[in-house]
Structure 1
Amino acid sequence: MPSIRGILDDVETALEEDQALVAVIGALGGAVGAFVVERFGPEPDPEVFAITVDQARASLLSALALVFTGLSIVLALTALATGNMASKFSPRLLRMKLRTSGNKWVLTVFAATAAFIITSQVLLRTSSGEELAPPLMLSISVVLLVVTGVMIVWYIDGTLQSMRVDRAIRWVGRRIERTAKRHEHTARHDVVVDTIELQRPPGAIDLLASDDGYVVSIDTGRLARLAGDDGCIVVEAGTGQAVVRGECIGWVSTPTRLGGHDLAEVLDCLTIANVRDPERDIGYTIDVLVDIGLMALSPAVNDPRTGLECTEMLTAVCVGLARRDVGIRTRTREDGSPSVVVIESTMGDYLDAAGRQILLYGADDRTVTAALLRLGRQGERAARSQRDRGLAKAFADDVEALRSQAPVTAGRSW
């Protein structure tokens, strides 16, 4: 049986990934609101509010037409921005944009406004055309229409600004920082280390992945309780790593105490989803930044300045990660012995993987390699562990060796 935490994670993922589900929730809220207002709203006062049902129907119909006109504008702009982001930046960036709360609010307001107006139209059909219309119903319709108009203006401005490459790079950089903070908050009860010496004891049994997909969350607190007073659970597949069913993703040191049922509980502490979670996976958000740089450095686009900006942002990101508790997560007992170990990527791992991808496509541009050399040296300076410092230094040395071998050209002839 799935745990309550797993169910909540599935619901949260569904709300973030499925735009239609958000629209359905907004439409249900608008329809229910119209029923409540019609039933429990105040009676119309002829001296204060003298709009007949026929006039209200016509007004609501005009308001509905304005709502759908605004929706058509939003959809057209969304299609334009979608094509631009997917072709010029990264398909992963598009997914992150669609998951943002701003898009959710736009969909919710549009759906709620349309559902409220349509339901109000249906409810008013049961009244005579000469009767006075409910004042609260029309007032809420006007307010929702105004809010919808404000949302349209806000959405158009935000979408147009997001199509600027400098804005997109800065936005991704802020999202990486936000993801790192959330990852740090998730691991607040863990001891985060950069390296650990741990040998698998004789008789330990493998932890086999229960499904295909990506590891999106690991409950170390529950794992520590399952490990008991003398056990040790090691998870070698960190957040964001791809796994396949039956693959060995770790081990348990006390197979005599843990039976098949307990092993199933251990595996239930790992949430495996079909896609990576940008809100929890630092590597995913860094991949988006690298994607923008790689696409800019590709022969089809040939925009080394954008690749340079991505490298500069990556430098700031890695220096920021060095200041945070990002790395191997552990739980220890009072005697200092480990009960849970989760192998997560460190700052040096992210720097090495991302930097070498950009180096592969930007090796011929000395401005890009100069920025990559700075990335390695700044990572070496900011690293808090010997391992991360060694990874950053090795990367910087490789870039420097490549630059020394490349010919220096004085300029181009056109």
Structure 2
Amino acid sequence: MLSPLREHLRDTFWFAPSAALALVCVLWLLANWVDTAVVDELQRQEEYGAIQDLMGVVDDLKTVVTTVSSAMMTFIGVVFSISLVAVQMASGQFTPRVVRIFVRSRITKLTFAVFLATFALSLLVLTSYSGEPDPKLVSSVPFVQSVLTIVLVALSLLLFIAYVNTTLRLMRVGHVVDRITAEAFRVLHKMPHGAPADRPLGAQSGQIGHGGRAGVLRDVNIARLVRAARRQGVVLRLIPRIGDFVVPGTPVLAVHGGGAPSRGALGYTVSVGVERTFHQDVGFGLRQLSDIALRALSPAVNDPTTAVQCLDRIVQLLAALAARPLGTVGHRDHHGEVRLLQPVPSWENLVDLGFAEIRTYAVGSPQVTRRLVAALDELLRLTPDERRAPLLRHRALLVHAVERAVPEAAERDFALEGDRQGIG
């Protein structure tokens, strides 16, 4: 159902530039073959004047190609040095977790890949230029190669404009929280909607421990685990949640209904890393939004408006989760049988993640407390009755905290009045 390899490649920065360098080498070989074939055909037809004209055009283009080869690498270094400074500023202003947004940015990878490809192609084209002046003896005229280089230069300029625009947008908090929310909703839409199982799970017959390196559980290969469980005729239950830290020997899978699948069948099904990712982590979006809000509420920053923007998105995510089955999701095989049970945060866990820390540090900011009251009241209207308890608890704790911290009755009333804009 999900592709861990695809997500892992998106979290790296080396794959796209490496693929672009390999592709540009293939393009150069193809263009070189075309140039050679054209010259051979013209020589066969004794069209030496046409060859001479091509050589004149190529000599004019050589100046451009030479300039590109000497300037492109310097241009790449300057542009991406500035970008690294921008990333550092964004991580300090918002949260270090937003760095992955820059790493996963398609326009950033595409720009870097095209820049490197243009530089590499210009060097390759320079090797194709011949000093032979006689059109009867020349073996190839790099006309197509030179034109391809000019096309890549034009594409580089267009991508540079798009890249600067995207980078500047990602330095603005509104666009950052919007990107985080969009990724969180992509994870949400991939979650199964149904109940985890149609019948009782049965007794546990075994456990399988983690055999790899220690790290954060980033994702599991759901399709492979479902196939292994179906072949063995069992149900597998993932014990840790995505985002938990596991060490070698930590039980990661429980087996129900029979013997455990072989180690070979379960190979490459659990992936750990140094940090959490969005791939299957339902709560990671709320974690990032909460981190940005906490950084904004710190005395060093003191930016309650950013915290209000984060609360807007937290409400949006929780409203979408309000009616969904949580706690455990089931993944079915092609016969409709549940073969893998995966724990996800419960409704109470998600509400605590979205509001607990912000509520603690928001007491001194009436803008944030007013938005918190409005957020909790809005969610109370949207959620089923059985899920109202965590929201009521946070509302009561907020009221008590403001009453303790604000001695003036009029100030307390103002701070606890619901307002969707904080102080609109």
Classify the TM-score, shorter chain. Answer: 0.7 to 0.9
Taking the TM superposition and a 5 Å limit, the aligned residue runs for 1:267-282 are 269-282=269-282
| 1:398 corresponding residue in structure 2 | 397
Q: Describe the superposition over 1:277-318 as per-residue Cα deviations: whole angstroms up to 9, x where unpaired.
A: 224323223222222111111121111221122112211222
Tell me, in whole angstroms, the C-alpha distance in 2 between the residues paired with 1:334 and 1:128.
67
Aligned to 1:379: 379
2:85 aligned residue: 80
Do structure 1's residue 158 and structure 2's residue 166 form an aligned pair?
Answer: yes
Q: TM-score, normalised by structure 2?
A: 0.80
Partner of 1:37 in structure 2? 31
Residue equivalent to 1:317: 317
Amino acid at match of 1:174: A
Give the Cα–Cα distance (whole angstroms) in 2 for the partners of residues 26 and 291 of structure 1: 36
Q: Work out whether residues 27 and 114 of structure 1, in 8 Å CA contact, stay in contact via their aligned partners in 2.
A: no
Query: Which deviates further from its counterpart, 292-301 or 356-365?
Result: 356-365
* Structure 2 residue 75 is the aligned partner of structure 1 residue 70: yes
Give the superposition deviation at 1:105: 0.8
1:104 and 2:92 correspond: no
Q: Cα deviation per residue 1:122-163 (whole Å; 9 max; x = unaligned)?
A: 222x55267684321121111111000011111112212221
Determine the C-alpha separation between the residues in 1 that align with 2:326 and 2:163.
35
Q: Say yes or no: does 1:218 pair with 2:228.
A: no
Change (3 A) 1:267 1:398: farther
Q: What SS is found at the alignment partner of 2:128?
A: helix
SS at match of 2:388: helix
Match of 2:421 in 1: none
- Determine whether 1:51 maps to 2:59: no
Q: 2: distance between equivalents of 1:81 and 1:268?
A: 36
**SS of alignment partner, residue 265 of structure 2:** helix
- Structure 2 residue 157 is the aligned partner of structure 1 residue 149: yes
SS of the residue 2:276 aligns to? coil
Structure 2 partner of 1:128: 132
Task: Give the 3-state SS of the residue equivalent to 2:101 in structure 1.
Answer: helix
Counterparts of 1:303 and 1:327, CA distance in 2 = 34
Moved more, 208-217 or 317-326: 317-326
Native 8 Å contact 2:206 2:259 kept in 1: no
Deviations 1:16-66 (A, max 9, x none): 233233222212222221122012233383586453554443221112244
More off after superposition, 356-365 vs 46-55: 46-55
Matching residue of 1:258 = 259
Quote the Cα distance in structure 1 between the aligned partners of 2:117 and 2:318.
42
- Secondary structure of 1:204's partner? strand
Change (3 A) 1:384 1:243: farther
How far did residue 331 of structure 1 move?
4.8
CA shift for structure 1 position 253: 2.8
Gaps of 5+ in 2: 43-49, 412-424
Is the 8 Å Cα contact of residues 315 and 375 (structure 1) preserved in structure 2? yes
Alignment of 1:205-354 (within 5 A): 205-211=206-212, 212-220=214-222, 222-227=224-229, 231-254=234-257, 257-258=258-259, 262=262, 265-266=265-266, 269-322=269-322, 327-331=327-331, 339-354=339-354
Question: Compared with structure 1, are the counterparts of its residues 57 and 19 closer, same or farther at alpha carbon in structure 2 (3 Å cutoff)?
Answer: same
Task: Give the Cα separation in 2 of the matches to 1:216 and 1:322.
Answer: 25
- Which residue of structure 1 lines up, in the alignment, with residue 179 of structure 2? 171
Q: 1:347 to 1:374 in 2, by over 3 A?
A: farther
SS in 2 for 1:35: helix
Amino acid at match of 1:87: G
Please state whether the residue corresponding to 1:277 is helix, strand or coil.
coil
* Gap change, CA 1:65 and 1:246, over 3 Å in 2: same
TM superposition score normalised by structure 1: 0.81
- State how far apart, in whole Å, the 2-side matches of 1:280 and 1:403 are: 37
Stretches of structure 1 that go unaligned for 5 or more consecutive residues are: none
Deviation at 1:250, TM superposition (A): 4.4
SS in 1 for 2:132: coil
Contact 2:290 2:353 in 1 (8 A): no
CA distance in structure 1 between the partners assigned to 2:163 and 2:315 by the alignment: 31
How many angstroms apart in 1 are the aligned matches of 2:51 and 2:223?
64
State the AA in 2 paired with 1:363.
V
| Counterpart for residue 357 of structure 2 | 357
Counterpart amino acid of 1:152? F
Q: C-alpha separation between the residues in 1 aligned to 2:264 and 2:318? A: 37
**Which amino acid letter does the alignment assign opposite residue 30 of structure 2?**
V
| Contact 2:12–2:103 (8 Å) recurs in 1 | no
SS of residue in 1 equivalent to 2:271:
strand
Change in 2 beyond 3 A, CA 1:216/1:27: same
Q: Quick check: 1:94 aligned with 2:115?
A: no
Alpha carbons of structure 1 residues 374 and 100: separation in structure 2 relative to 1, 3 Å: same
Give the 3-state SS of the residue equivalent to 2:107 in structure 1.
helix
Aligned residue number for residue 205 of structure 2: 204
Amino acid in the other structure paired with 2:358:
I
> C-alpha distance in 1, partners of 2:358/2:296?
10
- How many pairs are equivalent? 393
Instruction: Tell me the CA shift for residue 262 of structure 1.
Output: 2.8
CA offsets, 1:320-373, max 9 Å, x none?
233666652125799999653221124442221131121222232222122223
CA contact (8 A) 1:209 1:267 kept: no
The alpha-carbon deviation at position 88 of structure 1 amounts to: 0.4
RMSD: 3.5
